[in-house]
Structure 1
Amino acid sequence: MNSEQEIANSKILSNSIILKVLGKNIPFSICSIELHKQWNRFGNFHLTSLGLNWILFSFKPNDVMEEFLSGGPWYIGGHIVGLDKWLPSFSPLSLKGLTVPVWIRFPLFPLNCWDEVNIARIALRIGTPMFLDGNSLNWSKKEFARIYVRVNLESKLPSGVWVDGLGGHFFQKVEYKKLSSFCFHCSRIGHLESNCPERVFKKATHNDPTDTVNQETSHSSI
């Protein structure tokens, strides 16, 4: 490859974001209409279809990227949008690096842990804390703590985390809000349990005809 040309191409793409609608194959034309409606306030931008339901979001203002990445969560047709800065290592065949910002809740949260520092420390076990819901610090209602985090799509989302506090070792349950494409089998975002790659692989392995052949061969040799 011509490295100088690669560097020049990468410079053009340095102010771009790659994104993917998770959980459903929505046509690019519909995605384009919806994204222009939601992101019109970010100014002029250009959308490019990359195949496999990936979209390249390119814009000129340098200060827009961080505002865009820290905003959201973004949805199209009720399905959450995963996104990340474009990098030369990007591959449409992988979700590596792709993240989504989501609201999470800690129900029945211990009162002695109810502060910005401790809530954020527990949230770090799930993703990168972005900001805390101000109502969570309101003493008129203490049903759950609520915090906004950015999670990696390659990581499994735990149903809860073990925490050591003044009251001892306890399990804190975690609730994820508005994840229409969350798989309860592998605990990942991007597909439903009925379409889980792990389940499909296990089923295919269990029904592998070579297993039957091997068993028949084994029986005949006894």
Structure 2
Amino acid sequence: MIGQPLKMDASVASLCRPNVARFCVKVDVTKTLLKRFWIGNSSSRHWQYITYKDLPSFCSYCLMLGHSLDECRVLHPKLFKKDTNVGKKQQTQSSKKKDRIGVDKFKGKLSEP
């Protein structure tokens, strides 16, 4: 079984296009998705291939939706450290612009030390 059926295309319900079937199905993304299934009756049998549409990104490492395994911050923390260092560099540069008594040289206003 692919998953729990949620909706079906009107053409499937009316049987006006028997060669195409579109369903909205709830699937367990932690399990391997089926690529095909065996369909048949006494007169006709064949493998039916499945095309998935609009699947969300899923990380099999941290089990979260929204990013793939290649983009996982838990699995690849070094890839994302650069982004946080950029923000820290900007903060330290802006703090260097203030002199020792806490006066912002550009605005001429007192700021908290």
TM-score interval for Structure 1 and Structure 2 normalised by the shorter chain = 0.3 to 0.5
Greater fraction helix: 1
Which of structures 1 and 2 has the larger relative contact order (alpha carbons within 8 angstroms, sep 6+)? 1
Report which of the two has the higher share of strand: 1
